[in-house]
Amino acid sequence: MLSPQGYQVITASSGEQALELLDSSSIDLVLLDIMMPGIDGYEVCERIRREPSTAFLPVVMITASGDYEKTRAIKAGADDFISKPFHQGELLARVASLARIKRYHDTVTWQAAELARWNAELEARVRTQVEELQRVNRLRRFLSPQVAELVINSGDDSVLRSHRREIVVVFCDLRGFTTFAESSEPEEVMAVLEEYHTALGELIYRYQGTLERFTGDGLMVFFNDPIHLDEPARRAVEMALAMRDRVATLIDGWSRLGHDLGFGVGIAQGFATLGRIGYEGRFDYAAIGTVTNLAARLCAEAKPGQVLVAQRVFHAVENHAAGESIGVLELRGFSRPVRAFSVSRLIDDSAEVSS
């Protein structure tokens, strides 16, 4: 009756053989007699239901018995019955109905598996993106966003390995900050630092400087590493003058609150060894060399509102910035006097280095 309707029928002569066929074949529906050689139909149905792979397989019990046998069949896990002698139309209708339910179940199972696969892929992507974001955030802690993006997009962080290069270093801090911090509430100190760092951070980004570190009110930025920049000394001086002017506005506001603060900058140019330092989870990008010490010493000598630069820096920017010599300075840690210049303004304020 079933084969002419397009069904592929596999027969078993016993319950044991039926269970073996279920293990080795892809079956969509079971027509199960109750009385069979060996184990009977009830036990076969119970075993079918115990196996996760066949727990939802449609089972139709064929019986000539009455209500008691049907009740047992339901308890064993049968989905439907056909009574002997059975009618062809009824058989085909019940088989078609349960086959349709099996297809729905297979579809749901497939969709659940696909959903699980998609979820696994999504979790993997999210995990990768989180790791990438963490990597980006670590890089942006000490690199300008442009440089961080370059490293991320290229996938090559070899530029962060230890190397030697000529750089221009800018060191700046607030005059009177130690006294202010000792005599003020911590909340006031944090508010001042937040305004200060926010103002300077935007300028570091604009001029493509590499921030090495914030140390309270102290700040060190260098140019021409990890990527080459045109006119790094000019960029450094323009950034320093912009910082001075912006912090001057902040100082006016702080003075109204009774805070006596000033701002000084030192700039030097020379060779340094640069690279990533630290440990897993906490890296910095550092410059090591005399040039960093020179910039820090010049900053310490600068009066409030003054930008002091080393001779080499001044000669690199003398066509773009106005300044004057302040003579030679005896700086701590330097055996020879250092000639320094005070830069006051840009000669042509409209000729800033583009970012």
pLDDT (average), residues 45-61: 87
**What is the helix (H) or strand (E) element at residue 96, kind and residue range?**
helix 88-142
Mean pLDDT, the chain, as a whole number?
A: 87
Lowest mean pLDDT of 6-20, 43-57, 151-165, name the range.
Answer: 151-165
> In the chain, pLDDT over 90 holds for what percent of residues?
47
3-state secondary structure of 194: helix
> What pLDDT digit, counting tens, does each position of 282-293 carry?
677 789 999 999
Q: What is the CA radius of gyration of the chain?
A: 40
DSSP assignments along 134-177, one per residue: HHHHHHHHHS-HHHHHHHHHHT--GGGSSEEEEEEEEEEEEETH
Which two three-digit tokens encode residue 274? 């640069």
Residue 74 has pLDDT above 90, yes or no: no
Taking CA atoms, 325 is separated from 170, 193, 209, 308, 315, in Å, by 18, 32, 26, 9, 11
Per-residue pLDDT band at 141 (split at 50, 70, 90): low
pLDDT recorded at residue 91: 82
Quick check: 36 pLDDT over 90? Answer: no
Q: Taking residues 136-165, report their average pLDDT.
A: 73
Q: Residue written as tokens 């000033």? A: 262
Query: Which pLDDT score, from 0 to 100, does residue 325 have?
Result: 95
Pick from 80-94, 302-316, 340-354 the range whose average pLDDT is largest: 302-316
